[in-house]
């Protein structure tokens, strides 16, 4: 994705029905995420203020620090990324572009209503049902089960295969 001499660092791990990606980029980094490789459904910005746009369009995708941003509408497009400062982001990816997912940040205790849901620790060390999670820990949830959440400054994402 990087076509210049600036530093980037990325990790990608394919899990059950999805993949997680973490990208860290230096200021001034510019890159293209070709449509053939674009499986990113949700972006979470840890730090920085990157510009993310759709190639050959005027569409800009606003990434806000601490927010989960859906990019589902751009799976069949190439994306351009430019950084004016160092940035760090998390991307939730589908494995199959025809498979839809919902995504949201969890802020309180909830009862799972779908057996195709996953809870992912996006940042920090939140506590779920008396278990302290670490960044990128994940678990497939049980429909009908209550999940007691204490964020402790952490961030949890709930992703459900539709």
Mean pLDDT by 10 residues, the chain (162 residues): 56 90 92 93 96 96 97 95 94 96 98 97 97 96 98 97 96
For the beta sheet containing 87-94, the strands, ordered from the edge strand earlier in sequence to the opposite edge, are 8-14, 18-25, 87-94, 40-47, 68-70
Q: What is the pLDDT of residues 116-138, one digit of tens each?
A: 999 999 999 999 999 999 999 99
- Planar angle of CA 131, 87, 6, nearest 5 degrees: 130
Architecture of domain 8-94: Sandwich (2.60)
Architecture of domain 101-161: Sandwich (2.60)
pLDDT score, position 7: 61
Q: What is the pLDDT of residues 88-105, one digit of tens each?
A: 999 999 999 999 999 999
Q: Which structure tokens are listed for 152?
A: 């402790």
pLDDT score, position 3: 46
Domain boundaries, the chain: 8-94, 101-161
Model pTM above 0.75: yes
């Amino acid at each position: 994705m990087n076509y210049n001499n600036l530093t980037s660092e990325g990790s990608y791990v394919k899990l059950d029905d999805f993949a997680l990606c973490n990208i860290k980029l230096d200021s001034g980094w510019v890159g293209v995420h070709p449509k053939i490789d674009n499986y990113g459904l949700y972006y979470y910005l840890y730090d920085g203020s990157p510009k993310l746009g759709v190639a050959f369009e005027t569409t800009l995708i606003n990434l806000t620090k601490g927010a989960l941003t859906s990019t589902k509408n751009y799976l069949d497009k190439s994306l351009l990324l430019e950084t004016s400062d160092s940035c760090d982001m998390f991307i939730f990816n589908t494995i199959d572009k025809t498979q839809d997912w919902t995504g949201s940040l969890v802020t309180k205790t909830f009862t799972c209503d779908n057996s195709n849901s996953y809870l992912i620790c996006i940042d920090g060390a939140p506590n779920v049902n008396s278990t302290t999670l670490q960044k990128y820990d994940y678990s497939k949830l049980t429909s009908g089960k209550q999940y007691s959440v204490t964020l402790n400054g952490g961030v949890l994402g709930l992703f459900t295969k539709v």
